[in-house]
Structures are given as C-alpha cells and as structure tokens.
C-alpha cells in the first residue's frame, strides 16, 4: 500500500502539468504574493475613497488591455510550432505582422484618453485628470508588451517568465510604497503600476534577441487570415472573461457613493485572493495542452488535474470566508469600515471560485481551437452588465447578479465540455476499431 501511494505521488509530481510548469507556477505564486502585499498596503494606507479610485482604474486598464491580452493564445498557437522547428525567421515575421496593427491601436487609445480625459474622470468620479492620462499611457503600452509575453509562453520559457514577473511585481510594491509615503496617494500607486509594467517588456525583448536578429525569408510568410480567424473569437472570449470580474467594480464605482464603492473594492480584494493563488494553473495548462494537441497526444488528464488543483483549495477558502468573514477582513485589510459589509465575503468567495473554474474551461477550449466558446462567455458578460445597470439597489444585489450569471455560464461550459469529450472518445474508439481491422483482428 505504501509503495502504491509512493508510486502515485511520484507519478503526480512527474506529470507535465507539474514538472513542465513548475517555474511559472512558483514564479506566478511569488508574483501574486507581491501583488497581494501591494493591494494590502494600499488598502491599509490609502483612504477608502482612494482605494476605490485605484481599484476602478486597475479594472479600467484591465478591460482596455483585454483585446491585446487575447492575442496571446494566438501567438502561442502559431509561434509555438515555429519555435519547435527552430524557425526563428517565421517567429520574427509573425511578430512584425502583429505589431503593426497593435501600434495603431495603441496610438488611438492614447489619443482617446487625451481627448476624453475629463469625461472619463467624471464617469468614474476621478477629478484628477493626470490619473486618467497615466491610465491611458499604461493601457496603450500594454498593446506592445503583449507580443513579448506571448513569444515567451510559446517558447515555454517558464523560468524567464517567472523571473520577469517577480522583478515586475517586486518593483511595483517598492515603488508604490515609496510614492505613497511621499504623499502621492492613489496617484502614486498608479504610477507604480505604470513603471513596473514596462520592466518585463524590456528584459523580455533583450532575452529574445536571437529572434530579432533572425532573417525573414519566403518560407517565413504568415497567413494573416488564419490569425484573424482564431484571434477575433479568442479576443472576444477573453474580453468577456475580463469583463465578468471587472464590470461589477466599475459599475459600483459609478452608481454608488465613493465610500460604498471603496468597501466593495476591499471585499473584492479579499475574495480575489482565491484567484491570485490559483490563476497560475491556467497559465501553465494552456501551452501544455497546445503542445499535446500538436503532437496528437491525449490532453484531457491535464485539464482534469488543473480543475482539481483549482477547485479544492478554492472551496476551503470560500468556506472559511463564510465562517469567519470578520477575521478574514481584519487579517487582510485592517480597517473597521470594511466590516460593515462582511456578510458578503462568503458570496465573494463563491463568485471568485466560479470565475476561476470558468477561466480553466475557457483556456481549455481555446487551447484546442474551440473558439466558439466566446458566444456564451460574451453573452454572460453582457447579461451581467445589463442586469447590474438596471438592478443595483444594494451591494448584495450586485454580487448576487454576478454570481448567478457566472454559475449559469459554468453550467453551459460543463455541458459543452461533456459534449466535446464524448465526441473525442467516440473518435478514438473508431480509430482503434479501424486499426484493429487493418491488422486482421
């Protein structure tokens, strides 16, 4: 019995999801710890209203950067095969093909923030226009850095990705602390996000120098139609995913007074600890499944293991939130004002747990090129937006709407997975029967 347990343990530790992604898992975890410390410091040292400004601007930057981030699956899918063949010229051609439209989008975003800074500030009740401009520059630069990030994932450079993420988040924490103590308040925190966001792109560009010096030849031509056919629906799916975890914060900032918006942002921070701890799993799973599928190897066990790794700790943390909400808030954000809505913390835990599982399913479908998954995801995001817009009588109403929408989406994705899994098993069975007939059985 002991030997069997030892064998199973060794088999688990040697699984590709663990061994192949150990660096990015540890690195992302450490980076998320620094992110957590950054948020905790800001939650304790900024005013409630100031923290509300920080949370809403971070959500805004995240939403604007979604179309850029959604290109990462496309880059991983197309560049990964070229890296495997050491065809660096094609990798360079792909990068050049993608960066041109991204530069145009970056300039448009920056121009919009400059022109409409006053209107954006009025909508979010942020009256310092310099904050809006910092957000605009940060969002514009995100469209350039996403290429570096995608290429590093495609090359499976997990160790380097972990290193750059740690350096970036460590810098954000250090710069943020210094600027807040110097009296820059919420603006200092946003400056820290801007400065630290540039660091991974710079060191990543240097690391990929061998790609930039490669020659592009006729064999390196990239079919842009294939990129669009995958990139557009995957972008929409990613847009919907980010909206599901950001729309509530943005609308609460708009419809509620600054104090309530800040309290909601604080509770959301505590709830998102679940996502901070489990998010690296999806980042590791995606390129591994892409690699498996490219080699026509089985990949469902990787997905099932990823779901288990995310689900089990998330359930325990959510249960703790239900049982000890005040203790959780006091431990994470030492501000008594947040305890006025502590009864909502358990619901936040379930909300983030559901979102974490949805993220895995969406990554899974995109990794096997089932891009139609964008339809239910986008529908859910729009439903959440409309329902909160029309029904926002209390913070409880907002979180309940978000949770119900996500539970419905998760149910749809599970049904879709069962359907696809059944089709794959039937196809495998037919292949085995055909093979047996060919050899005379």
Return the domain boundaries, the chain.
1-222, 227-441
When pLDDT is averaged across residues 373-401 and rounded to a whole number, the result is: 92
Among candidate residues 283, 275, 274, the one with its CA nearest the CA of residue 306: 283
> pLDDT value at position 389?
92
Note the maximum CA span of the chain. 81
Among candidate residues 302, 297, 424, the one with its CA nearest the CA of residue 360: 302
Among candidate residues 35, 64, 114, 99, the one with its CA nearest the CA of residue 246: 64
User: Could you tell me the sign of the dihedral formed by the alpha carbons of 16, 154, 306, 275, in that order?
Assistant: positive
When pLDDT is averaged across residues 120-146 and rounded to a whole number, the result is: 82
Report the percentage of the chain scoring pLDDT > 70.
86
> pLDDT value at position 350?
92
Given a cut of 50, whether residue 382 has pLDDT beyond it is yes
Q: Grade residue 431 by pLDDT with cuts at 50, 70 and 90.
A: very low
First to last CA, the chain: 38
When pLDDT is averaged across residues 159-164 and rounded to a whole number, the result is: 85
Question: Which residues have C-beta within 8 Å of that of residue 415, sequence separation ≥ 6?
Answer: none
Higher-pLDDT residue of 340 and 27 is 27
Q: What are phi and psi of 208, to 5 degrees?
A: -95, 25
| Region label for 45, one of left (φ > 0), alpha (ψ between -120 and 50) or beta (otherwise) | alpha
DSSP per-residue codes, 17-67: HHHTTHHHHHHHHHHHHHHHHHHHHHHHHS-HHHHHHHHHHHHHHHHHHHH
Measured from the Cβ of residue 170, the count of other Cβ atoms closer than 10 Å reads 18
Q: Please give the model's pTM, rounded to 2 decimal places.
A: 0.71
Given a cut of 50, whether residue 441 has pLDDT beyond it is no
Check: CB of residue 136 under 8 Å from CB of residue 112. Answer: yes
Residue 134 to residue 193: CA distance in whole angstroms = 10
When pLDDT is averaged across residues 251-261 and rounded to a whole number, the result is: 84
When pLDDT is averaged across residues 322-339 and rounded to a whole number, the result is: 79
SS3 184: coil
The residue to which tokens 């292949």 are assigned: 431
Question: Could you read off the pLDDT of 272-293 as tens digits, one per residue?
Answer: 888 877 877 887 788 778 777 7
Residue 411 to residue 409: CA distance in whole angstroms = 5
Question: Could you read off the pLDDT of 392-423 as tens digits, one per residue?
Answer: 888 899 999 999 999 999 999 999 998 887 65
Q: Grade residue 435 by pLDDT with cuts at 50, 70 and 90.
A: very low
Question: Could you read off the pLDDT of 342-357 as tens digits, one per residue?
Answer: 778 888 899 999 999 9
Kindly report each contact of residues 425-433 with a partner whose C-beta sits within 8 Å and lies 24 or more positions away, as own/partner.
none
Question: Could you read off the pLDDT of 218-227 as tens digits, one per residue?
Answer: 665 666 677 7
**What dihedral do alpha carbons 251, 257, 258, 260 form, nearest 10°?**
-80
Among candidate residues 37, 35, 105, the one with its CA nearest the CA of residue 69: 105
Measured from the Cβ of residue 279, the count of other Cβ atoms closer than 10 Å reads 18
Check: CB of residue 61 under 8 Å from CB of residue 354. Answer: no
Q: Over the chain, what is the mean pLDDT?
A: 81
Question: Which of 6-10, 74-78, 122-126, 364-368 comes out lowest in average pLDDT?
Answer: 6-10
When pLDDT is averaged across residues 360-369 and rounded to a whole number, the result is: 88
> pLDDT value at position 60?
79
- Show the tokens assigned to 107: 């300039």
Taking 3-state DSSP, the helix, strand and coil percentages for the chain, each rounded to the nearest 5, stand at 90, 0, 10
Residue 400 to residue 186: CA distance in whole angstroms = 29
Given a cut of 90, whether residue 155 has pLDDT beyond it is no
Residue 133 to residue 145: CA distance in whole angstroms = 19
Check: CB of residue 63 under 8 Å from CB of residue 240. Answer: no
Q: Grade residue 439 by pLDDT with cuts at 50, 70 and 90.
A: very low
Considering 78-82, 143-147, 337-341, 377-381, the range whose residues carry the highest mean pLDDT is 377-381
Q: Grade residue 429 by pLDDT with cuts at 50, 70 and 90.
A: low
Question: Could you read off the pLDDT of 54-90 as tens digits, one per residue?
Answer: 887 887 787 777 677 767 777 877 777 677 677 788 8
Among candidate residues 294, 238, 302, 310, the one with its CA nearest the CA of residue 21: 302
Given a cut of 90, whether residue 29 has pLDDT beyond it is no
Question: Could you read off the pLDDT of 169-226 as tens digits, one per residue?
Answer: 999 999 999 998 888 888 888 899 888 888 888 899 998 888 888 887 666 566 667 7
**What dihedral do alpha carbons 396, 258, 317, 279 form, nearest 10°?**
110
When pLDDT is averaged across residues 146-162 and rounded to a whole number, the result is: 83
């Amino acid at each position: 019995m002991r030997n069997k347990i030892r064998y199973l343990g060794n088999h688990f530790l040697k699984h590709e999801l663990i061994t192949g992604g150990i660096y990015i898992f540890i690195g992302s975890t450490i980076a998320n710890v620094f992110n957590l410390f950054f948020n905790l410091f800001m939650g304790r040292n900024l005013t409630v209203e100031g923290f509300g400004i920080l949370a809403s601007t971070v959500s805004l930057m995240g939403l604007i950067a979604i179309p850029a981030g959604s290109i990462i699956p496309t880059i991983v899918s197309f560049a990964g095969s070229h890296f495997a063949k050491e065809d660096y010229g094609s990798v360079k051609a792909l990068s050049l093909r993608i960066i041109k439209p991204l530069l145009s989008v970056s300039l448009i975003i920056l121009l919009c923030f400059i022109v409409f800074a006053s209107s954006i500030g009025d909508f979010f009740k942020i009256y310092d226009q310099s904050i809006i401009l910092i957000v605009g520059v940060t969002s514009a630069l995100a469209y350039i850095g996403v290429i570096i990030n995608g290429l590093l994932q495609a090359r499976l450079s997990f160790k380097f990705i972990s290193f750059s993420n740690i350096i970036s988040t460590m810098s954000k924490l250090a710069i943020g602390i210094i600027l807040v103590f110097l009296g820059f308040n919420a603006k200092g925190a946003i400056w820290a996000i801007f400065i630290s966001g540039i660091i991974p792109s710079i060191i990543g560009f240097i690391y990929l120098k061998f790609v930039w010096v490669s020659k592009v030849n006729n064999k390196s031509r990239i079919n842009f139609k294939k990129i669009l056919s995958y990139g557009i629906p995957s972008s929409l799916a990613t847009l919907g995913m980010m909206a599901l975890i950001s729309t509530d914060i943005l609308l609460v900032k708009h419809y509620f007074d600054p104090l309530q918006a800040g309290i909601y942002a604080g509770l959301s921070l505590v709830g998102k600890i679940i996502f901070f701890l489990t998010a690296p799993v999806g980042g590791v799973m995606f390129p591994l499944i892409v690699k498996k599928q490219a080699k026509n190897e089985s990949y469902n066990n990787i997905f099932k293991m990823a779901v288990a790794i995310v689900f089990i700790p998330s359930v325990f943390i959510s249960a703790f939130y239900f049982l000890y909400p005040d203790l959780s808030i006091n431990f994470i954000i030492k501000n008594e004002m947040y305890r006025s809505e502590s009864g909502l913390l358990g619901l936040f835990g379930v909300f983030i747990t559901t979102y974490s599982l949805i993220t895995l399913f969406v990554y899974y479908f995109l990794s096997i090129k089932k891009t139609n998954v964008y339809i239910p995801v986008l529908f859910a995001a729009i439903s959440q937006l409309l329902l909160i817009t029309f029904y926002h009588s209390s913070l409880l109403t907002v979180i309940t709407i978000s949770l119900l929408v996500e539970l419905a989406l998760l149910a749809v994705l599970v049904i879709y997975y069962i359907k696809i899994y059944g089709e794959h098993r039937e196809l495998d069975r037919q292949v085995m029967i055909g093979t047996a007939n060919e050899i005379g059985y």
